[in-house]
Amino acid sequence: LRKSFLAPNGEQIEVLRGATFTAKHGEVIAVTGPSGSGKSTLLHLLGGLDVVDHGTVTFDGIEITKLTPRKLAAFRRQKIGFVFQFHYLLPDLSAIENVALPLLIAREKREYAYSRAGNLLEDAHLTGREDHPVSHLSGGEQQRVALARALVTHPRLLLADEPTGNVDAVVAEELGKALVSYVRNNGAVGVMATHSASLASLCDRTFVLEGGRLKEPRDL
């Protein structure tokens, strides 16, 4: 994958210069690298949130980089779960409403949406907090809600961009383990950008983004 951006001074910044990898189902890939190395850019391209300059992203035999905007939106809704550093939950909605929302948007039955959301919040040890507005929850609790929201549609591809960047070490470990076990138990694929060596060590393989390419630590 290649991707560059135009800087305000008119200069082209080449962020990705031939980043390439393949992942198997059931596998979680960690992407590390200093701030500004292009981790978020890579995840945005994998999830079809931004357009590649050059290269292809293929998942389950579907070439994401060739989909029309409408098909891409449906693909994202059905197949991809995102967890961001800043959770992007809707602050005035309750925890369970936030988690159920992707299913309601996908026109699933209310009863199913709320029961699945309730189960995920239970897995996230948030029983009793379901009806709290998320703005009243702690940072760690909010990020657990965000992970539950990402998993509610049973995504086949889970993309996490520094998901534990704003939580303490205990919550980070718990979130990382929940994310990895979802991928392994469901034969999904996980890609996680992280600064944390302990989080990366939970994953199956680690790449370092350097000079716009993905390198395995033994290459460095």
CA torsion sign, 54 to 35 to 75 to 5? negative
DSSP letters, 76-109, are HHHHEEEE-SS----TTSBHHHHHHHHHHHTT--
From ligand ADP, Mg ion, none, interface partner of 176 (C-beta below 5 to 8 A by class): none
DSSP bridge partners of 87: none
Site membership for ligand ADP, residue 190 (CB under 6 A): no
* Binder of ligand ADP out of 9, 22, 35, 68 (CB under 6 A): 35
Judged by CB under 6 A, how many residues of this single chain contact ligand ADP?
11
**Closer residue to ligand ADP, CB minimum distance, 36 or 187:** 36
3-state helix, strand, coil in the chain (%, to 5): 40, 20, 40
Site membership for ligand ADP, residue 36 (CB under 6 A): yes
Site membership for ligand ADP, residue 18 (CB under 6 A): no
User: 213-215 and 205-210 as β-strands: parallel, antiparallel, unpaired?
Assistant: antiparallel
* Binder of ligand ADP out of 5, 86, 88, 112 (CB under 6 A): 5
Site membership for ligand ADP, residue 48 (CB under 6 A): no
From ligand ADP, Mg ion, none, interface partner of 192 (C-beta below 5 to 8 A by class): none
The rounded distance, in Å, linking the Cα atoms of 209 and 205 is 13
> Would you tell me which residues interact with ligand ADP (CB under 6 A)?
5, 13, 15, 33, 35-41
